[in-house]
Amino acid sequence: MGVDFDRMRRERRESLTRSLRAADADGIVLLSPSNHEYVGVRRPCTDAMRVYYEPTLVALTTDGEIHLWTPYPDGAPPGVTPDHVHREIDVEVDAGARLLEDELVEAFGQRPRLAIDEIPGGLVDRLGSDARIAWMDGAVVTQPARLRKTRDEVACLTRAQRINEEAILDVRNALRPGVRQTELSALFLRRAFEKGATSSCVDPIWNLTPLDRAHQTPTLNGDVGFPVASDDRFLREGDLILCDTGLVWEGYHSDYGATWLCSDAPRPSPGLRDCYRRYRDLMECVYETLRPGCSAADVTRAVMQLEPSFGLDHFYLAHGVGCDAAESPFLGTDRRLEDDDDVEIVAGMTMVFEPVVWEDGIGGFRSEELVVVTETGCERLSNHDYAPFDEGSPW
Amino acid sequence: MREDRVRIDFASLRASRRDRVFAAMERLDVDVCLFGREANGRYLAGQRRLWTSNTRAWIPTCIAVRATRRVHVMALGASTEDAPEDLGADDVFGRSFDPGTTSAIYAAVPGLPDARRIGVDGLSVGMRAMLDRICPDAEVVGFEATMRGLRRKKLPAEIACLRVAVAITESALQRTADALRPGRTGAELQARFLERIAELGAPTFGVQGTFRVPRPTTSPPWGFSADGFAAGEPVVLAGAALWSGYEGPVGRTWWCGDVRPRSTARARFDRWQRVTRTVVDACRPGVSGADLDDVWAATGEPPPAMPFVYGVGLGHEGPIAGSGGGPAIDASQVLESGMVVGVRVWIHDDGGGHFGEELVYVSSDGPELLTTMSHGPIARAHALAVPSPMEEPDDR
């Protein structure tokens, strides 16, 4: 499926401006890279420890006009008025924050009502009642706007997922006793970028997972230790590996998860196979339940009929995915289930389901499924197999 | 990657950094610091979070309480493996998706509800409201500028960390230089850059890299190209690895193929080297960003389109010279001995450009280059007074 980038930019901006008007805001100021991506503003992929100090700032008006302050002027989307593109402002210091206020007042008029996704360090001391700008919570605007994906966004997510899955095939072939986690990461990144990934968004996880919790990395809640950052530790015959990898294509995040056994001839134990079958049954239940009009809680309740404990205590049944690796909606978190009755499932939502079926002492099965909610139900966008668990697996 | 090896006593480094934060809190009469910025959490607690490129919405993930001298960190997964050894299990807290539970988690941090003055390195409108409920009498003050000041002045062990980070970046860039030949794409070089960093055991990135032909634009090149390079093209190779959180940014302009670099490319390199040497030599204690702006202006190059000197340590530590805020802000940024700065210079004209970046340690004895990588084929080519007939007349 092709992507019409002009259409995607236009439709996303329309969604944001609708949301701005619904929130009765004059505009929104965006600091976070995923929100920049959503309005079509590009910048180099950098670590969280660099993002704020080489800041790109975007202000969007209710008319869909963009004002931009950035060290990367060529990252401006097509159609932005050239005199709306300015040099970057260091808003982590007071003088910079004051400068930003000046420029926003010039663009929006005296004491505008502006949403902001994050308050930078330099603005903290300027939030009093005499503030020149009436700030409001940016999430109120961005979250509803980004919830439903357009067809082009779904195409981007699908492409990102394919790149991830193709790179993974080579990694899975390299999984042998004696290989180091970092060697798997190196191979994964090499293949992913050769296949067209535009950025890496998470340190690849090859979670070495002892079969019982008592022998795992210590955790706050005593549950399975996952995810644990990769290391140069090497893997051994029979190791249970829960993997989790993410990659970005044109701003959209993929999410791949699987359960592997490190072995030249992997043979899952009967108990592990049983966990796998229960995982597949659980996902079938999701595919049957998930449709427009149902609530997030409906899906969780249906799953709980099968598996009362469907995941790790510190995670969830599913998270949304788009310009962020994990974004709204979240299903089956530690929120009270009744609160999720108010979260309506709508067509265009994209989610990653990542249940875990765990039997302590035997181990468990975890995978991830990228799903889009359609007009009548849902569709699985992930396209991976379950080797060495599926029947007749060549592996 | 674990922090328990090679030349550095991390426990002592963590203790020294923590002491400096508590001393600053004492000086500024701040009772509790709430940090959401990764670099500050890393500085205060040595927190090793699973690396992700995007930022997370601001919530306190690292907390310092002056009265107890305790540091509390959030484990985003439940694993406490990313918490340093000097923190106890009680010092690690979980996260929640439920606002009530989240509020209770913070309210349970000993000393937070009683705080009179709370320092923060950022905020969100929602978190501000939550703080008003948990500690209704507290004044919330900005602490980011203070952290920037602390972080910029390096401890000796931090210089060692930065040297390791630079070594990783240089090894990875050298792999891309070795692989550069006609037909190779920027994406293929990027793939090798990230592969090599991961092989060296540090699969995390400050900057994922620039691998492309420099175009005659006023701002420096970034990103990578999907098209194959041609023989006789200059190619920018730049990026930054992270090691134990410390960043090693390095940039070079290489040359594709066995064709001798053109005299125009060599002339741009000469300009680049002259400007870079002049700026690096000026990076001495007491010199301000505005002074460096004057040094740049005196080279005769057009004004830079992005900061050309900036702080480097646990990531980027703020612009120093050539910033978008202008000379008034630059004048307030003063170099001190112990600082480490990135000096990145972009030379351009109608035909093309040359980009390079060096990491510089500002010591009391003067500037020291932490970058060691060569400048490749363009620098090795002889400067010619007149273009050789073997060369093409212009770059593109």
Map tokens 């010199």 to a residue. B287
Q: Supply the pLDDT for residue B396.
A: 38
Q: How many CB atoms lie within 10 A of CB B174?
A: 18
Q: How many Å lie between the alpha carbon of B94 and the closest alpha carbon of chain A?
A: 7
pLDDT tens track for B112-168? 999 999 999 999 988 999 999 999 989 999 999 999 999 999 999 999 999 999 999
B50, B190, B219: residue with CB nearest A73: B219
Q: Is A301 helix (H, G, I), strand (E, B) or coil?
A: helix
* Average pLDDT score over residue span A381-393: 86
Identify all chain A residues contacting B311, using CB atoms and an 8 Å cutoff. 53
Give the type of residue at A130: D
**φ/ψ (deg, to 5) at A230:** -70, 160
Q: What is the mean pLDDT of chain B?
A: 92
- β-strand pairing of B62-65 with B32-35: antiparallel
Q: Residue B389: which of B232, B231, B263, B267 has the closest Cα?
A: B263
- β-strand pairing of B205-212 with B139-142: unpaired
Q: How far apart are CA B312 and CA B327, in angstroms?
A: 20
Q: How far apart are CA B167 and CA B39, in angstroms?
A: 21
| Residue A378 β-bridge partners | A373
Q: How far apart are CA B34 and CA B107, in angstroms?
A: 13
Q: Supply the pLDDT for residue A393.
A: 54
**Under 8 Å between Cβ of A317 and A119:** no
Map tokens 């330099």 to a residue. A122
A54, A194, A199: residue with CB nearest B208: A199
| Residue B234 β-bridge partners | B255
pLDDT tens track for B287-321? 999 999 999 999 999 999 999 999 999 999 999 99
Say if residue B395's pLDDT is above 70: no
Identify all chain B residues contacting A194, using CB atoms and an 8 Å cutoff. 187-188, 191
What are A38's two structure tokens?
A: 């959503």
**Under 8 Å between Cβ of A27 and A111:** no
- β-strand pairing of B70-74 with B92-93: parallel
Domain with residues B153-380, CATH architecture:
Alpha-Beta Complex (3.90)
B173-178: long-range contacts at Cβ-Cβ below 8 A with a sequence spacing of 24 or more? B173/B237, B173/B238, B173/B239, B173/B250, B173/B252, B173/B373, B174/B373, B176/B211, B176/B237, B177/B237, B177/B252, B177/B254, B177/B376
End-to-end CA distance of chain B: 44
Is B97 within 8 Å of A47 when comparing Cβ atoms?
A: no
Q: Could you please report the per-residue DSSP string of A139-152?
A: HHHHHHHHHSPPHH
Is A217 within 8 Å of B51 when comparing Cβ atoms?
A: no
User: Of the CATH numbers 3.40.350.10, 1.10.357.10, 3.40.50.261, 3.30.70.890, which one belongs to the domain with range B10-151?
Assistant: 3.40.350.10
* Average pLDDT score over residue span A300-304: 98
Pick the residue of B33, B35, B73, B79 with the most A CBs within 10 A to test the interface with A by mutation. B79
Q: Supply the pLDDT for residue A16.
A: 98
Is B53 within 8 Å of A200 when comparing Cβ atoms?
A: yes
Which is more confidently placed, A216 or A108?
A108
Per-residue CA distances from A97 to A84, A107, A127, A312 (Å):
18, 15, 11, 41
Pick the residue of B6, B125, B171 with the most A CBs within 10 A to test the interface with A by mutation. B125
Q: Chain centroid to CA B281: how far?
A: 21
Is B198 within 8 Å of A217 when comparing Cβ atoms?
A: no
Pick the residue of B1, B28, B30, B55 with the most A CBs within 10 A to test the interface with A by mutation. B55
**Under 8 Å between Cβ of B93 and B86:** no
Q: Residue B40: which of B122, B156, B108, B115 has the closest Cα?
A: B122
Q: Supply the pLDDT for residue B382.
A: 63
Q: Could you please report the per-residue DSSP string of B156-172?
A: HHHHHHHHHHHHHHHHH
**Under 8 Å between Cβ of A53 and B312:** no
Sketch out chain A's domains with CATH numbers.
5-146 (3.40.350.10), 151-380 (3.90.230.10)
Is A47 within 8 Å of B207 when comparing Cβ atoms?
A: yes
Domain range annotation of chain B: 10-151, 153-380
What are A185's two structure tokens?
A: 């990461």
Identify all chain B residues contacting A333, using CB atoms and an 8 Å cutoff. 96-98
Say if residue B389's pLDDT is above 60: no
Q: Supply the pLDDT for residue A47.
A: 85
pLDDT tens track for A206-237? 999 999 998 888 888 888 889 888 888 899 99
pLDDT tens track for B45-79? 988 778 888 777 899 999 999 999 999 999 877 67
Q: pTM, whole model, 2 decimals?
A: 0.95
Is B206 within 8 Å of A203 when comparing Cβ atoms?
A: no
Say if residue A285's pLDDT is above 60: yes
Q: Is A248 helix (H, G, I), strand (E, B) or coil?
A: strand
